[in-house]
Structure 1
Amino acid sequence: MSIQILPFSDKPIKATDVMRLYEDAGWWPERGEGDIEWMLANGQSVGAWDGEALVGFARAVSDGKFRAYIEDVVIHSAYQRDGIGAQLVSRVLDDLANIDVISLFCEQHLIPFYEKSKFRHSKSQYVMHRIRR
């Protein structure tokens, strides 16, 4: 298997392909195709490709200087545990090399995965969400 990790600028990502990954992961059923197209056009994203099939995706939200957040690191279940997630995170981190603080939110069982990329668990901060409904 030869997986290519490419930024959106080198190989555009279709919203429907991202939606398939979200569905496979059980994520974001409320996100519509138009909103995902907007997200892709207005942010930084990276895809993992097996030929023409999108098998992994990650994106970053940033102010371009001080802060960035890695979001939506998702790998199709048939491709998990092959190092694709680590490659996606590495590529996003390379693209954010000029940013002072890079953060992310993850489930507890993923902390060891992100620690390999030098993220550190912070017990002094609490995740708070305000969700528009």
Structure 2
Amino acid sequence: MGEIAYAWRGAFDNAEVNALHAEGFDHRVLDDDWWGQVNRHSLGWVVARDGGSLVGFVNVAWDGMIHAFVLDTLVRADRRRHGIGAALVRIAVDEARKAGCEWLHVDFDPHLTDFYLGACGFTPTDAGLVRL
């Protein structure tokens, strides 16, 4: 394992994010257009690379004003528990702040509570959700 390089709005190809997403969310590999999606709808994203290999990714969607949203925090399975995910989110926080956002939201499954509330510094809030 080499040194991890992080890049805000870093280059990636759809195939590598699709593979990482499939591994992270336990589904078959899809053929989604991540590059088009993040360029149309996101404030930015962070990629983490070890050499040429994508080992982490996080998307930061936003409302175009003061709210940003952490989505799809992903770290390759063999690289988890080494601080890569927390570093991805830390960069996302810094870049959202620089863009003038006042709030960064995240929702997550209960097993990720320690990661988001502990390692990443989010605070719990009351929120609502409608399943569509």
| Residues 47 and 57, structure 2, Cα contact 8 Å, conserved in 1 | yes
Kindly state the Cα deviation for residue 51 of structure 1 after the two structures are TM-superposed.
Answer: 0.5
Would the aligned equivalents of 1:15 and 1:40 in 2 still touch at CA under 8 Å? Answer: no
1:119 is aligned, of 104, 113, 122, to 122
Q: Deviations over 1:41-81 (max 9, x none)?
A: 22211100000100100011112332111000000101000
Q: Equivalents in 2 of 1:80, 1:121: separation in Å?
A: 23
Choose which of 24, 36, 39 in structure 2 pairs with 1:38: 36
Gap runs ≥5 in structure 2 = none
Gaps of 5+ in 1: none
Q: The residue matched to 2:22 in structure 1 has which SS?
A: helix
Q: Which amino acid aligns with 2:4?
A: I
In the TM superposition, what is the alpha-carbon distance from 1:101 to its structure 2 partner? Answer: 1.5
Alpha-carbon displacement from aligned partner over 1:79-111 (angstroms, at most 9, x marks no partner): 000000000000000000121121111111211
Determine the structure 2 residue equivalent to 1:3: 4
1:87 maps to what in 2?
87
RMSD: 1.8
Opposite residue 65 of structure 1, the aligned amino acid is M
Identity of aligned residues (%): 23
**Where is the helix percentage greater, Structure 1 or Structure 2?**
2
Task: Report how far residue 31 of structure 1 moved.
Answer: 4.9
Name the TM-score, length of structure 1 as normaliser: 0.84
With normalisation by structure 2, the TM-score equals: 0.85
